[in-house]
Structure 1
Amino acid sequence: MTGTIRSRSLRRWMLSGVSVALLAASVADAGAGAFGIREQSVEAQGLSFAGAASGSGGVSSMFWNPATVTMRPGWVTEQNLSVINLSARITPEAGTNAAFSRLGESGELGQTAIVPAGATSYQLSDRVWIGISTGAPFGLVTKPRATWSGELYGRSSRIFSLAFNPVIGFKVNEWLSVAAGPNIEYFKLVLRQAFLSPLTLNPAALPSSGLKGDSWGVGFTAGALITPFAGTSVGVGFRSSVHHDIGGQLILPAPYDTLGGNIKAKLNTPEKLSVGITQAITPEARVNFGFEWDNWSRLGTIAIVSNGARATAPALTLNYMDGYTYSIGGEYDWSQALTVRVGVAYEVSPIDFSNRSVRLPDGNRVNLSVGASYRWSEKLTLNFAYSHFFVERGRILAGVGRDYNVQNVAFAGVADSSADIVSVGFRYVFGEPAVAAPAPLVRKF
């Protein structure tokens, strides 16, 4: 027991405050609503991911719909690399606690992240394919100034994930393919925020508390691909929720460090349903449509456990809504070697004023993208894409009566965010290119 704060009450309060940080950060984003990362295919990105479930993203479309594994013969691999530059700044407003308001704005809290992704397919027979896709479905890197007016609600956030999704696809007939497979996922987080201590009365000199944890989980993906007419593809894909039993540690500054300890949290990632349509307009031009639904509302209430005992706040109500994305894009074969793309998407974010936090300055967004593919040879194709995200300006309010509340210290602010994403990649076909069989020799007698 130190000062006027008892060990038990301090521990429970700190768990309650960092619990908010844990779940708030584990749902912050770089390239999609909430903490989702959509940058899994350079080709699909150039279309703002329109038609990704119907194969517009090449072999990497397996992320949205595993049945697209049957679209390419032979042995094909694609590797993608995206540089995500998230820019965000939070400015305090009237209503912020006076002692903290004078600390000023967040500064640039967005950080640059590099996200790799890849997919490989292999044809076993005329009807059976196997494949694997890898990538980071969730992630975040944000770091405001160490001393700022919202420091009690966030000083830094790092989220890392990695998923392995082997699939098997079956071509039922000439117009229907189906596929499914397990989704093996790793999830890790490291978070920091200011610690309000009676030993440090100056808000500009508060020490930091931290939390770190990780988990492995398993889900599945499944999908179907329909090609009813020549030049038309319709795809539907599903990614299940992955259950994570996150285990980690709560780290407190001295002299409270002995009050830290092991924590546990159960987190279920949202399901994703993707629908795509690709339609050929001419032999050289195609139009793509996309729709995605993410079940973020399943993150409504999450319990936090420390050393086997529940914190003072036994449940955290996040109140996220479902996320919806609508996209359209077009591609044109400029020549036999060059294909160009353009796309636009509108995303309804699961985050609004009711549940927005300093770790998650998210909002509705518009995504404009361009891209191109260059066929270097019969085996090698090079891909490029650029996207800019226009994110809706969002107000933030934390404190009494809000989901995010640390020691009843109020914070009010407004977030301005945007993002630029540059992606490069390649497709490589192993083995010799397919050639037409020669016509049979017919003898006349």
Structure 2
Amino acid sequence: MKKKLLAVVIPSLFAASSTALASGFQLMEQSASGIGNAYAGSAAVADDAGTIFYNPAGMTRLKAREVSLGVAAIKPSFKFDDRGSLAAPGAPLTGSNGGDAGGWAAVPNGYYSQKINDRLWLGLGMGVPFGLVTEYDDDWIGRFHSTKFEIKTINVNPSLAFKVNEAVSLGFGVSVQRFEATYDRYAGVAAPGPLKSFGVSDAAMQRTKLRLEADDVSWGWNVGILFTPTERTKLGFSYRSKVKHDLDGDLEARGPAAPVLSNPRVGLAGVDAEVSVDLPDTFIASAAQGVGERWEILADVSWTGWSSLNVLPIYRSSGVQSGSVADTLATRFQDTWRVALGARYRYDEHWLLKFGVAYDESPVRDAERRLTALPDNDRIWVSLGARWMPDADNRVDLGLAYLFIDDTRIDRNAMAEGKGWVRGQYEGDVWLAGVQYSRSF
């Protein structure tokens, strides 16, 4: 596996596991200050250094130096209920419902903005823009599809902003991104004929776990523009590019069939592996409008190009089977839209109250193409929060959100791949809480 310098220089804080909160496995939580508004106005608000991620042009609205540090705690729940899963025609898949595939996770972030002169600002952001963990009990019905699927990213985003005039600012950034993936499943419901000739039984296949671990470092870019036609009206637009990752790693087997699968003459496991992933691009349009002396109304529309993830073949890249497909993740995602509305109320000079709602589409097209690794569906956000300002230079943001997720059907037929046919329904929801500290110098 490639050794990546970035893994050494990034602080260990940013290696925390994360779990998908926006559609697919995208994470909106790149600045905890936006939780209370369900991230409405994310590319327009520009009142702390977290704007580096959502719209770097917003740095021109900040003071000479600004630092923001935050973390979001996430508790998703995904509980499966079997509705007639099959190992083969007429033969039911046996096992448990897998427990709760969700679990607690933390998403940290940090930003620093520096004014160079009256027109130029420089900034640095660090966060986790994509993440996913789904993990089931080892005896669950869908164990031949997945028992664990984990994605981690770390994104370092140096940025600059240029103030064209009092009404227009431009921003640009470059992202250096590390991607790690772990994928576990049991080998199959039955041993194929060639493996039976090596003495591998169906029972041995069913008790042998396969694991893929792979990683890569790649890069992307982002741009933004901020219009402030009046002091109380802000319009922001930003675009974040795709990031193409060519992941290299290892495919290993553990269990009674492992000696045969890893035999050099067979070469099905115990080999190097590779898979290419195009993480999607995103466009955001935002508005913030002051109303009266105390209110500000926020709005957000965003688009994510999830169709970049279609069919992901995992190739063996060493051994006698080098170049053959070890597994396939047929996501067949579709592009998605997210809309959010929010409001902020200035209670007094020390407190700002926040409210928000959002509707977030899932990239999963239907039950037939839903993965056990990603039991995703459309969701509705309801959120609230507050900002405490003890003085002009220090701010603490708190946010809490609950995500309603539609009951989620799955009807994934992978009998031809030896994984069985998973049929059932998930019940899911998500709790999200965050805290962020910001200081101006």
TM-score range, shorter chain: 0.7 to 0.9
Who is 2:152 aligned against? Answer: 160
Who is 2:242 aligned against? Answer: 241
Moved more, 281-290 or 375-384: 375-384
Q: Work out whether 1:429 is the aligned partner of 2:435.
A: no
How much does 1:56 deviate? 5.4
- Distance in 2 between residues matched to 1:209 and 1:313, nearest whole Å: 10
Distance 1:100 1:191, change over 3 A: farther
- Distance in 1 between residues matched to 2:370 and 2:329, nearest whole Å: 14
Maintained 8 Å contact 2:315/2:326: no
Match of 2:43 among 37, 53, 56: 53
Match of 1:362 among 359, 373, 376: 376
SS in 2 for 1:227: strand
Who is 1:224 aligned against? Answer: 225
How much does 1:315 deviate? 7.0
Quick check: which has more Rg, 1 or 2? 1
Superposed CA RMSD in Å reads 2.1
Distance 1:393 1:203, change over 3 A: farther
Who is 2:6 aligned against? Answer: none
Moved more, 37-46 or 342-351: 37-46
Who is 1:112 aligned against? Answer: 104
Q: Work out whether 1:348 is the aligned partner of 2:348.
A: no
Maintained 8 Å contact 1:100/1:203: no
1:101 partner amino acid: L
Maintained 8 Å contact 1:116/1:135: yes
Maintained 8 Å contact 1:59/1:72: yes
Q: Identity across aligned pairs (percent)? A: 25
Distance 1:314 1:396, change over 3 A: closer
Who is 1:269 aligned against? Answer: 279
2:58 partner amino acid: T
Who is 1:381 aligned against? Answer: 395
Maintained 8 Å contact 1:43/1:56: no
1:399 partner amino acid: N
Query: 5 Å matches for 1:325-340?
Result: 325-340=338-353
Q: Work out whether 1:392 is the aligned partner of 2:406.
A: yes
Distance 1:418 1:377, change over 3 A: same
- Distance in 2 between residues matched to 1:91 and 1:203, nearest whole Å: 27
> Number of residues paired by the alignment?
400
- Distance in 2 between residues matched to 1:181 and 1:425, nearest whole Å: 22
Query: 5 Å matches for 1:21-420?
Result: 30-55=20-45, 58-97=48-87, 101-196=93-188, 198=191, 199=200, 201-202=202-203, 206-253=207-254, 254-255=258-259, 256-258=261-263, 259=267, 260=269, 261-307=271-317, 309-312=322-325, 317-351=330-364, 352-400=366-414, 406-407=417-418, 409-420=420-431
Distance 1:205 1:172, change over 3 A: same
Maintained 8 Å contact 2:331/2:371: no
- Distance in 2 between residues matched to 1:61 and 1:30, nearest whole Å: 21
Maintained 8 Å contact 1:90/1:358: no
TM-score of the superposed pair, with normalisation by structure 2 = 0.86
Moved more, 100-109 or 362-371: 100-109
- Distance in 1 between residues matched to 2:203 and 2:378, nearest whole Å: 37
Render the CA deviation track for 1:17-46: whole Å, top value 9, x for unaligned: xxxxxxxxxxx9521111101111122111
Render the CA deviation track for 1:270-324: whole Å, top value 9, x for unaligned: 0000111000002321000001100001112334321264335897643210011
TM-score of the superposed pair, with normalisation by structure 1 = 0.85
Moved more, 118-127 or 211-220: 118-127
How much does 1:95 deviate? 4.2
How much does 1:354 deviate? 3.9
- Distance in 2 between residues matched to 1:406 and 1:92, nearest whole Å: 20
1:221 partner amino acid: N
- Distance in 2 between residues matched to 1:202 and 1:99, nearest whole Å: 15
Maintained 8 Å contact 1:83/1:113: yes
Maintained 8 Å contact 2:315/2:325: no
SS in 1 for 2:60: helix
- Distance in 2 between residues matched to 1:54 and 1:301, nearest whole Å: 35
SS in 2 for 1:310: coil
- Distance in 2 between residues matched to 1:290 and 1:83, nearest whole Å: 23
1:413 partner amino acid: G
Render the CA deviation track for 1:252-284: whole Å, top value 9, x for unaligned: 132123332111111111000011100000232
How much does 1:408 deviate? 5.6
Maintained 8 Å contact 1:44/1:56: no
SS in 2 for 1:43: helix
1:186 partner amino acid: R
- Distance in 2 between residues matched to 1:100 and 1:415, nearest whole Å: 19
Which sections of structure 1, spanning at least 5 residues, go unmatched?
1-27, 431-445
